[in-house]
């Protein structure tokens, strides 16, 4: 049977590839971005309690009302932004579904979408599936800052959407207040929309503030703001996220969402709603993950790897120029198979395979895992 692929250049994601390679060789998996520790026991207990109490049927399409209300309260408290839980908040089957629904809702054939590279690999395939045209702008190396002059040059009357990701995967860079002011000026007289991937919103280091699009009314009114409970509560496998957007954008978003997943896991939604009633555990996340970042950097200090700045997320970029001049995809495979530590080669996040000789390591791991991995890396 002959099938014409809609994504002929897309294969299995690098995350699946490296995790499988890690499993095959018994390596420590610092590649795919998930913790190797469990969520809070009380959160798991709340899920079990809601299963036992009978919350096992379809949730409302936009999400359980109690959870949407708690999300609205949290967003108002942190960012000073008022989103109506009835019309402007949608609970999704993870952030990836939210990204798909947002792009599909507003991108039509011929529309241009500015993508800042390196870019999370879910963005471009969805743009292309909807007939959009990705326009690539590279972040500066090695600090991975936005080159606003290049963004301005990339803007055209066809620019429908700009995608931002802060804190940034894979680099750990974060947008500053100055960045937000510049962005506000650039889009002020345009009809360009914004998709803001903020799944690591609570993992920002060194006393910095997360600059959400929701903080800025002029940006919020044109933005889809996407976050993830999985990243915040160490439960990536539960696949629950959400999208904040003004009512006109939310209506279009939900038109796609209802036919994509319709509704999200009911007992887990209720459990998150319960959990958000407590003292906010996400308030401890910056210190929790900064401690892990600092530990990993300290352990790596004696190695031949170069530590790049990491201002947020739970990813650390390490340069390996002092060790090898091999392409990052080859070097990532080599350290997995020969040295027992799996990482992600960031060249796969560039449309043209740009390779700076760095690898991405996930430090959302137990201290024991980080110490064991660092010991192996220091031998290379």
**All structural domains of the chain:** 14-39+283-377 (3.90.1150.10), 41-275 (3.40.640.10)
* Per-residue model confidence (pLDDT) at position 17: 86
Written in H, E and C, the secondary structure of 283-342 is: HHHHHHHHHHHHHHHHHHCCCCCEECCCCECCEEEEECCCCCCCCHHHHHHHHHHHHCEE
Q: What sign does the CA torsion over 97, 100, 104, 107 have?
A: positive
Burial of 315 (0-12, 13-18, 19+ CB in 10 A): buried
Find the mean pLDDT for residues 123-141: 98
Give the tokens for residue 349.
């996040």
Does the pLDDT at position 7 exceed 90? no
Does the pLDDT at position 62 exceed 80? yes
- pTM value is 0.96
Does the pLDDT at position 279 exceed 80? no
pLDDT in tens, 232-252: 999 999 999 999 999 999 999
- Provide the pairing of β-strand 223-228 with 241-244: antiparallel
Q: Three-class SS of residue 232?
A: helix
Does the pLDDT at position 278 exceed 80? no
Q: What is the mean pLDDT of the chain?
A: 96
Does the pLDDT at position 11 exceed 90? no
Residue 10, C-beta contacts closer than 8 angstroms, at least 6 positions apart: 125
Residue 327, C-beta contacts closer than 8 angstroms, at least 6 positions apart: 345, 347, 355
Find the mean pLDDT for residues 190-206: 97
Q: Are 70 and 276 in contact (CB under 8 A)?
A: yes
Res. 31 pLDDT band, cuts 50 70 90:
very high
The percent of residues in the chain predicted with pLDDT above 90, rounded, is: 91
* Per-residue model confidence (pLDDT) at position 217: 98
């Amino acid at each position: 049977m002959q099938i014409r692929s809609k994504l002929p250049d897309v294969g299995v994601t690098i995350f699946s590839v490296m995790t499988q390679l890690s499993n095959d060789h018994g390596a420590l998996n610092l590649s795919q971005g998930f913790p190797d520790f469990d969520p809070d026991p009380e959160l798991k207990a709340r899920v079990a309690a809601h299963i036992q109490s009978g919350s096992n049927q379809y949730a409302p399409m936009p999400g359980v009302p109690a959870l949407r209300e708690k999300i609205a309260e949290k967003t108002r408290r942190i960012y000073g932004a008022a989103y109506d839980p009835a019309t402007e908040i949608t609970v999704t089957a993870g952030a990836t579904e939210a990204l798909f629904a947002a792009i599909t809702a507003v991108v039509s054939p011929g529309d241009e979408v500015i993508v800042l590279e390196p870019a999370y690999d879910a963005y471009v395939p969805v743009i292309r599936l909807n007939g959009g045209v990705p326009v690539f702008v590279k972040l500066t190396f090695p600090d991975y800052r936005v080159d606003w002059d290049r963004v301005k040059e990339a803007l055209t009357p066809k620019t429908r959407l700009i995608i931002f990701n802060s804190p940034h995967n894979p680099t750990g860079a974060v947008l500053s207040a100055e960045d937000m002011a510049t962005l506000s000026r650039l889009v002020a007289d345009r009809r360009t929309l914004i998709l803001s991937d903020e799944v690591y919103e609570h993992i920002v280091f060194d006393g910095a503030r997360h600059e959400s699009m929701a903080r800025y009314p002029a940006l919020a009114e044109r933005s889809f703001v996407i976050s993830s409970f999985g990243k915040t509560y160490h439960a990536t496998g539960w696949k629950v996220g959400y999208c904040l957007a003004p009512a006109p954008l939310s209506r279009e978003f939900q038109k796609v969402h209802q036919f994509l997943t319709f509704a999200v896991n009911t007992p887990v939604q209720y459990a998150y709603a319960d959990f958000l009633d407590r003292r906010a555990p996400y308030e401890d996340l910056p210190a929790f993950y900064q401690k892990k970042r600092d530990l990993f950097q300290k352990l790596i200090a004696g190695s031949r790897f170069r530590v790049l700045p990491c201002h947020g997320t739970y990813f650390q970029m390490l340069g390996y120029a002092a060790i090898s001049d091999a392409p990052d995809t080859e070097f990532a495979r080599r350290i997995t198979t020969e040295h027992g530590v799996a990482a992600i080669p960031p060249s796969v996040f560039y449309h043209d395979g740009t390779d700076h000789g760095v690898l991405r390591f996930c430090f959302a791991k137990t201290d024991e895992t980080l110490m064991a991995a660092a010991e192996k890396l220091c031998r290379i």
